[in-house]
Amino acid sequence: MRITAGLTLLAALCLSDTALAQTAKIAGTVRAADGATPIFAAEVTVIGRKLGAITREDGRYFIDLAAGTYTVRAKRIGYAPDSMTVTVSAGATATAFMSLWSTAARSGAKLITS
């Protein structure tokens, strides 16, 4: 009984190490196209997956996922979206720095003066 429990525990530990070794991370910063202004609260998503992050005040984000090749997209109201393809290896962190161009907000409102 103790041998079986010990082997089960050993197998679980080995499998969890294997699973941990397969994880990876995408990290980066989303900035305005001028390169100086970080974009806060931009939505960064992994296309085709239910994974993503919201940028912090300094424009940085982190996404934990499995090793592989992904297309990452950043978007924020008032900016044109940007995307790029990133390949990340098991146990590694890939970087994806994106720049968003400001878009002019258009409105159908008209100013009437008398």
- Judge whether 63 and 44 are in contact, CB under 8 Å: yes
Q: How many of the other CB atoms lie within 10 Å of CB of 29?
A: 19
Residue 25 has pLDDT above 80, yes or no: yes
Best mean pLDDT range from 14-28, 34-48, 93-107: 34-48
User: For the whole model, what pTM was predicted?
Assistant: 0.73
Which residue from 86, 100, 96, 94 is spatially nearest to 29, judged by alpha carbons? 96
For residues 25 and 111, what is the distance between their CA atoms, to the nearest angstrom?
49
Q: Tell me the pLDDT tens digit for each residue of 44-100.
A: 999 999 999 999 999 999 999 999 999 999 999 999 999 999 999 999 999 999 999
- Of residues 82 and 112, more confidence is placed in 82
Q: What tokens does 61 get?
A: 């984000």
What are the residue boundaries of the structural domains of the chain, listed by start? 23-100
Residue type for position 64: D
Q: How many of the other CB atoms lie within 10 Å of CB of 67?
A: 17
Residue type for position 26: I
Q: What pLDDT score was predicted for residue 67?
A: 97
What 8-state DSSP symbol labels residue 38? B
For residues 87 and 104, what is the distance between their CA atoms, to the nearest angstrom?
33
**Averaged pLDDT of the chain:** 84
Provide the CATH topology of domain 23-100.
Immunoglobulin-like (2.60.40)
